[in-house]
Amino acid sequence: MYSAGSGLSFFERKRMKILMILLILALCLPAAALVRTLTSPPRKASYRPSEKDDDRALAYARKLSAMVRYNTTSVRDTDQRDLFLGYHRVLEDQFPLVHRYLEKTEIGGNLLYCWKGKSSEKPIVLMGHQDVVPASGDWDRDPFSGDIEDGSVWGRGAVDTKCSVMAFMQAAEELLSEGAIPPMDIYFSSSCTEEWGGPGCCSLVDELKRRGVRPFLVLDEGGGIYTDPMFGIRGNFAMVGVFEKGKANVRFTAEGRGGHPATPVKNSPIARLSAFVTDVEKRQPFRCRLEPSVRAMLETLAPYGSFPIRLVLGNLWLFSPLVTWGAPLVSGQAAAMLRSTISFTMASGSQACNVMPEKASVSANMRFIPHQGMEESLEIIRKRAARFGLKTEVIEGSDFTPPVDIRGDAFRLVADTVRETFPDCPVSPFVLTAATDAVFYQEICDSCIRFAPVVYSPEEKRGIHGINEHLHYNSLPGAVDFFKNLIMAGSRE
């Protein structure tokens, strides 16, 4: 049926109206985002570590140096209690008041200190591990020299994480010298098996469970005060870790007839494994999505970026599809915050070049994001492997941790303490893609936050588990002050 004088059917006119609306939206929505960005003034993250505390910073550097000089490299499935008892004597020398007044419990080389406060209702646990990874590679300095040069403490563990242990113990040392009593019970937790995911921290958690302690807040490594935390964002930002991804070690195995390589066969075990690895690398199997914590992080950082960054990240209501598509192409770190990941790390075949293997395998490390947790991610990769005739074996694994409520009291306490200690340092939630001992505390604490109050430049972050690990010691006074403020926070309310 045609309407008089129009020449168009009812359905054609309806379609034209829809197209016009879509066209208007296509023009208006970007315009609205542009206006919103132009009318929102850019911000600047202006916090810098003070240069006025040189004597204090150097004194702290000497304590950290003494801790670094003691080699605490941990070895998987090995009883190293005697090694760590020696390290405990270093701690006793550096922090005598802590060891005089705090209740110390040692379990298999792992340490738990209790500082009784005025109340036991909302105890806080401060964490940092004793052990370090092996110092392989060609270092410019002895990795256990603890050299204090060029404004830095050099050596394995300076960043990961003896600086944190030094800072909270020194905070307690200074408060004890002043006769201070914290408003709540304070615990220091330090395992000696963190670097290989061993049972050390679990034994400390079991001890707290035995005592009936349920922490209000657990603060471990993970985030930090990061310099230039992402592309286009300049300055120092307190990146406060609110959850860590799950993880699993997985082995993929292919079987064949074996035999002599002089008469090769198609689809050998290694050929199928290679095809599988290539397929996964080229065709990403996992879905990208902005988790609420990631969205909050990007929206927090947006005002501090260049104009294009502010336009895109400040208007995620419009550009989130662009971010989830484009960010993984720009940065592996960005991809890790948006999806589950898989990294192939080991391979095995026959024991000789002139022998075709009857069985070959590759192993991978997987990390799981909440919107595709361990079960779903493993099923996806298992189906992909089956296409190539591979068997999938999960060697060990655990799922992601529940995100901390960024509007809750525990996160607010950490954020307020950051703002008090580090003026003009923006606070942002952060997703930890690595693993920490804090995962063991999830059973007894709803607010396990991953944050060390130390300024880490991109160069210093590269030294973690790498060569030439070092830390600029001008950030140590701020770290000590942060822990002092956090420990005494309740007395200022």
In a domain, 23, yes or no: no
255 and 265 both lie in a single domain: yes
In a domain, 47, yes or no: no
Instruction: Check residues 481 and 434 and name the one with the higher pLDDT.
Output: 481
In a domain, 118, yes or no: yes
In which residue are the tokens 């192409």 written?
Answer: 329
Structure tokens at 82: 């005697």
Domain boundary among 372, 398, 424: 398
What is the extent of the structural domain holding 283? 246-398
198 and 271 both lie in a single domain: no
224 and 171 both lie in a single domain: yes
Domain count, the chain: 2
Grouping H, G, I as helix, E, B as strand and the rest as coil, residue 56 is helix
Instruction: Check residues 231 and 404 and name the one with the higher pLDDT.
Output: 404
In a domain, 48, yes or no: no
Q: Classify strands 236-244 and 427-432 as parallel, antiparallel or unpaired.
A: parallel
Neighbours of 282 (CB within 10 A): 7
CATH number of the domain bearing residue 428: 3.40.630.10
In a domain, 7, yes or no: no
Q: Which amino acid is at 17?
A: K
Per-residue confidence (pLDDT) for residue 12, from 0 to 100: 66
Domain boundary among 369, 398, 427: 398
408 and 390 both lie in a single domain: no
pLDDT single digits (tens) 141-181: 999 999 999 999 999 999 999 999 999 999 999 999 999 99
pLDDT single digits (tens) 296-350: 999 999 999 999 899 989 999 888 988 999 888 877 888 899 999 999 999 999 8
278 and 338 both lie in a single domain: yes
pLDDT single digits (tens) 57-114: 999 999 999 999 999 999 999 999 999 999 999 999 999 999 999 999 999 999 999 9
What pTM was estimated for this model as a whole?
A: 0.88
- Identify the DSSP state of 404: P
Among residues 452, 474, 476, the alpha carbon closest in space to that of 464 is found at 452
> Is the bond into 161 cis (omega within 30 degrees of 0)?
yes
